Structure 1
């Protein structure tokens, strides 16, 4: 897979978590999320234990806690949905701060907030400790169809190019005195999107021709192979195994 650019979500570092092969981190992340989702929502202590495990990973990766907290703000729309559940759910009610709230809605809101937040934090850690191009390589190492990984790689590589083209078009409109003020300006914006699509399509054609002229045969060259040793797999499995023990206790301990 060709050399890519460093994404803004990636935090440069040389911690043990950074050095783990991407395929190990992907499997560990998926296993951890599945364990969290399978945990009974009534076992509040189990989710607190999962949070402690993630905090330990953050400390090991030397990622600032403030950075992780800011990036978890992406789940705010889901938080708003969860906070509305106690008011709209049916069933037995209880009094909380003078409000009559649904018991089932409260548990549902807690379920979404706890599991969703843990999953988001785990994803933030994965993105912060693994370069996007290595993530794609790790997916390919896990036998994901190569066509899918190549499409994702091109989206990653040229997403910023398309965004820059959109910025230049916005600057050109502003230089001509255009300021969107209402529905009447939707036609101009629609034409801009059409022009952006045509420019992107033409650029894609030129890129493809350039690749073919350089010997592209449908498979991207692998420049940085990242094999995983048994020791690295063991290190990556520490998080999901610890989480699995907590989940087992949550299911067995009343």
Structure 2
């Protein structure tokens, strides 16, 4: 495997890995919506979500040392959340000698809690679902073919674009350039424009090659057996639990 599969997919033989792709997608989407819809003024629902996510990781054979570095993708959002208590207005509260906005504190808590859980759920889906299984799952969920192809090609060629950007950076350094200095901002911007044009041209060539091989804009049916009702029930149990927690939180709020 290469590209996103190598970075995000964790090979295994757990029940989560063997579950139908479309079931895992629906379960992840419903769980994320439940987390987002939970009122931020309550803390216990997010503790329940975290415990449930830890249980799913253990059940799926996903070690914390594997998933923890990948959670760092949310660091920019955490930085934004930390600044909110200082930027939002009244009412304010005192904490460690600092005057902080109460509204900003709640907003920061909501972003960090919901963002971390959302990223964790997404990483769980990625860790247990191979990229080559994703198109079929999306197709069986009746996702429009154009969207499926955009997702598939993006996942397939993002590593190609990263490699191209690496070659361009190496070429600049070999000619005595230092991309880290501010005075090279113009050259960096021109390099980004060149990368965009190369990507666009590569996309056109790939599209023409696909058309010449009979591509009709749809993901072919691989003849996978339809998902049984029992598989839907068992596979969506984590999402059902998350929805129950969300509804309970609103009832006791």
Q: CA deviation at 1:84?
A: 2.0
- Offset, 1:221: 2.8
- C-alpha distance in structure 2 between counterparts of 1:181 and 1:111, whole Å: 35
1:145: how far off? Answer: 0.9
Aligned pair 1:73/2:72, yes or no? yes
Provide the secondary structure at the position in 2 that maps to 1:95: strand
> Which residue pairs with 2:88 in the alignment?
89
Q: CA deviation at 1:25?
A: 1.1
Name the counterpart of 1:59.
58
Paired residue for 2:213? 214
Distance 1:207-1:239 versus aligned 2 partners, 3 A rule: same
Task: Give distance in 1, aligned partners of 2:11 and 2:116.
Answer: 24
**TM-score after normalising by structure 2:** 0.86
Between stretches 73-82 and 226-235, larger displacement belongs to: 226-235
- Judging changes above 3 Å, is the alpha-carbon distance between structure 1 residues 197 and 51 closer, same or farther for their aligned structure 2 residues? closer
Which structure is larger by alpha-carbon Rg, 1 or 2? 1
1:136 aligns with 2:135: yes
Following superposition, the deviation at residue 183 of structure 1 comes to 5.9
Shift of 1:242: 1.1
Q: How does 1:167-246 map to 2 (within 5 A)?
A: 167-180=166-179, 182=181, 185-186=184-185, 188-223=187-222, 225=224, 227-246=226-245
Partner residue, 1:152: 151
Q: Show the counterpart of 1:43.
A: 42
**Structure 2 unaligned spans of 5+:** none
Retained in 2: the 8 A contact 1:32–1:240?
yes
Alpha carbons of 1:71 and 1:124: their partners in 2 closer, same or farther (altered >3 Å)? same
Q: 1:176 to 1:56 in 2, by over 3 A?
A: same
In the alignment, what sits opposite 2:12?
13
CA distance in 1, matches of 2:242, 2:4: 33
SS at match of 1:41: coil
Return the alpha-carbon distance in structure 2 between the equivalents of residues 24 and 139 of structure 1: 10
| Structure 1 runs not aligned, ≥5 long | none
Partner of 1:253: 252
SS at match of 1:227: coil
Deviates more, 1:19-28 or 1:79-88: 79-88
- Superposition RMSD in Å: 2.5
Aligned mates of 2:88, 2:4 — CA distance in 1 = 46
2:25 equivalent in structure 1: 26
Cα distance in structure 2, aligned partners of 1:178 and 1:152? 35
